[in-house]
């Protein structure tokens, strides 16, 4: 029998990410997410996903130099961004800008492994600046430029907030490591389907961004932040959730299609949210989140997903709400590109079937008789 949403259906093989539904463990190319999240840099995780192994010191230095060399945007991009109305969602800007970048790349239609690695490196490097320019280019004649030195996460934090703070950058980096890859989620599957036609990498990434924009996928962390801001105070949280559940409303940030029990990524992010709130002496958001979590467990038996406590961390870091999902892009683009490359390295067109439920037979009636 067909399953709506392909739930539980295995559609292919991949050596990139392993999710164990029984234990809840998550591994990137064999490495536990708990080890990678807090002990590896985002550059190391990105390298691992693209190159299939953790880099040596020399490989990491070379990779960081490649990223730094590739991070500038072509001259044509800024005039393009300036033509976009200020009301346009940042995700729509990113989707279109990635397509635009593809048109400026002479290797755009080259699906070889080497060309795809180069294009992936270029896109990973450019996304932080693209997010920053998407925010500022329509308003600021002199948008921020990348830092000459520093981590990917530190540069991303600076380009979005104008803040240079290694401690805050570390919190952001952990979230980037957690968001980088998660097997055949909706956006990754969309990217692989597109890549299977031998469409270009930029086009497949643009499709993934369009898919990630949906509130049931990447927009969830924004929705959680809005919910927390709407509730306002911990003492109001339980009654607010009860009223929404009574009205049969969905509470964002809970449940996962694959992980039915506790998500190891959520455990890590909850711990970071608690530590950050204590460090900043601002525990209001964390206390509110804990009450909501407990209420949802009691009432619905649901566990929070990664988006839930990530929203708490991002609000504590004073990251603008409109950039929450674009930050997801800056991280998940590594996983997308790894899957696109894997798909095209061992390609077979993805073409599933549907179970037909329409009329069995109809006789055609000429137009003048209808």
pLDDT for residue 353 = 84
pLDDT at 102: 95
Give the residue numbers marked as catalytic: 256, 307
Domain definitions of the chain by residue range? 67-350
Please give the Cα distance from 218 to 190 (Å, whole number).
Answer: 14
* CA pair distance 130, 74, nearest whole angstrom: 11
pTM: 0.93
For the domain made up of 67-350, the CATH class stated in words is mainly alpha
Q: What is the pLDDT of residue 139?
A: 62
pLDDT score recorded for residue 138: 58
* Whole-number Å distance between alpha carbons of 19 and 11: 15
pLDDT score, position 218: 80
236-241 contacts at long range (C-beta below 8 A, 24 or more positions apart): 237/288, 237/291, 237/292, 237/295, 238/291, 238/292, 238/295, 241/292, 241/295, 241/296, 241/299
Contact 173, 38 (CB under 8 A): no
pLDDT at 5: 66
* pLDDT per residue rounded down to tens, the chain (370 residues): 666 667 667 788 999 999 987 787 899 999 999 999 989 999 999 999 999 999 999 999 999 999 999 988 898 888 888 888 878 999 999 999 999 999 999 999 999 999 999 999 999 999 999 999 888 765 666 678 888 788 999 999 999 999 999 999 999 999 999 999 999 999 999 999 999 999 999 999 999 999 999 887 888 889 999 999 999 999 999 999 999 999 998 888 886 655 656 789 999 999 999 999 999 999 999 999 999 999 999 999 888 999 999 999 999 999 999 999 999 999 999 999 999 999 999 999 999 888 889 999 999 999 999 9
What is the pLDDT at residue 338?
98
pLDDT of residue 260: 59
């Amino acid at each position: 029998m067909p399953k709506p949403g392909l739930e539980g259906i295995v559609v292919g093989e991949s050596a990139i990410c392993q999710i164990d539904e029984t234990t809840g463990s998550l591994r990137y190319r064999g490495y536990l997410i708990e080890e990678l999240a807090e002990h590896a840099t985002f550059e190391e995780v990105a390298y691992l996903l693209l190159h299939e192994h953790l880099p040596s010191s020399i490989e990491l230095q070379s990779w960081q130099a490649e990223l730094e060399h590739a991070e500038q945007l072509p001259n044509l991009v800024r005039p393009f961004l300036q033509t976009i109305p200020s009301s346009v969602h940042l995700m729509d800007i990113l989707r279109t800008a990635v397509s635009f970048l593809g048109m400026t790349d002479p290797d755009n239609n080259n699906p070889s492994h080497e060309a795809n690695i180069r294009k992936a490196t270029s896109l990973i490097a450019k996304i932080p600046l693209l997010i920053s320019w998407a925010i500022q280019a329509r308003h600021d004649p002199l948008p921020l430029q990348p830092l000459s030195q520093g981590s990917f996460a530190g540069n991303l934090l600076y380009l979005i907030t104008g803040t240079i703070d290694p401690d805050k950058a570390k919190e952001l980096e952990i979230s980037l490591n957690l968001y980088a890859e998660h097997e055949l989620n909706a956006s990754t599957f969309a990217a692989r389907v597109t890549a299977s036609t031998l469409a270009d990498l930029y086009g497949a990434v643009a499709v993934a961004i369009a898919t990630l924009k949906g509130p049931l996928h990447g927009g969830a962390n924004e929705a959680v932040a809005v919910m927390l801001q709407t509730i306002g105070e911990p003492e109001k949280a339980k009654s607010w959730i009860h009223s929404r559940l009574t009205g049969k409303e969905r509470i964002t940030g809970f449940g996962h299609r694959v992980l039915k029990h506790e998500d190891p990524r959520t455990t890590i992010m909850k711990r970071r949210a608690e530590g950050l709130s204590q460090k900043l002496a601002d525990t209001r958001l964390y206390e509110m989140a804990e009450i909501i979590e407990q209420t949802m467990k009691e009432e619905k038996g649901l566990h929070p997903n990664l988006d839930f406590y990530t929203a708490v961390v991002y609000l504590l870091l004073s990251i603008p709400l409109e950039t929450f999902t674009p930050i997801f892009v800056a991280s998940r683009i590594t996983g997308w590109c790894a899957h696109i490359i894997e798909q095209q390295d061992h390609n077979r067109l993805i073409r599933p079937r549907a179970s037909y439920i329409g009329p069995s037979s109809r006789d055609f009636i000429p137009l003048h008789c209808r």
